[in-house]
Structure 1
């Protein structure tokens, strides 16, 4: 997993998605950090309280709204746990492969005659 390529692709997707706001981005970055701490292995187990603290989201309603919207937009797969003693699971998707190299513009070769 290429950290820089992934984040570049993520922000490229965010720039095209007009329904996302800074709260969505903050939540995603908190999840990405958890994924990083787990050496990019899926799934990651998350605690709502900890993710809210890291992402600076203070309302559980806002947290649930944002995590469900990011899930439905395909940023990750979210499997909520309805057990208060068990964390929810998130499968993060690797966006690094979505970056396509831009072809170089063809320049005419110099005429050395």
Structure 2
């Protein structure tokens, strides 16, 4: 079971999902991955606030870039959205999200080339 703060987030997202599905299919396309993520992490004790913030920031970035899959991004772009200030925390979070099966992260290992992040849909 998720801690109280996670449950509040989860129920708010579930409410938005129900509202979005009733009102606007385009909005639902953006919000559905977040709804699915919250359903999945509800029983996953490995997920922390950093993972949730990082995943939400990735989804926001993806929505701003025409829902591309994969998203090509630099760490500083996602870190700013997720309010993560430590490179170590960011890379640990993204790597673990990939290891846990929520995304597929392909690092570029070059400062001038964006990394690829695939969203696993379905």
After superposition, give the CA deviation of every residue in 1:5-62 in whole Å (9 maximum; x if it has no partner): 3222110111111011111100001111111122222111111111111101111111
| Corresponding residue SS for 1:69 | helix
Runs of 4+, deviation exceeding 3 Å: none
TM-score, normalisation: structure 2: 0.72
For the aligned residues, what is the CA RMSD? 1.4
Q: Where does the alignment leave 5 or more consecutive residues of structure 2 unmatched?
A: 1-27
| Corresponding residue SS for 1:16 | coil
From 68, 71, 74, give the equivalent of 2:101. 74
From 81, 90, 98, give the equivalent of 1:63. 90
Q: Where does the alignment leave 5 or more consecutive residues of structure 1 unmatched?
A: 98-113
Max Rg structure: 1
Other-structure match for 1:109? none
Contact 1:27–1:67 (8 Å) recurs in 2: yes
1:49 and 2:76 matched: yes
TM-score, normalisation: structure 1: 0.77
Other-structure match for 2:65? 38
Task: Name the CA distance, whole Å, in 2 between partners of 1:52 and 1:4.
Answer: 20
Other-structure match for 1:18? 45
| Corresponding residue SS for 2:118 | strand
Higher helix share: 2
Higher RCO, Cα 8 Å, sep 6+: 1
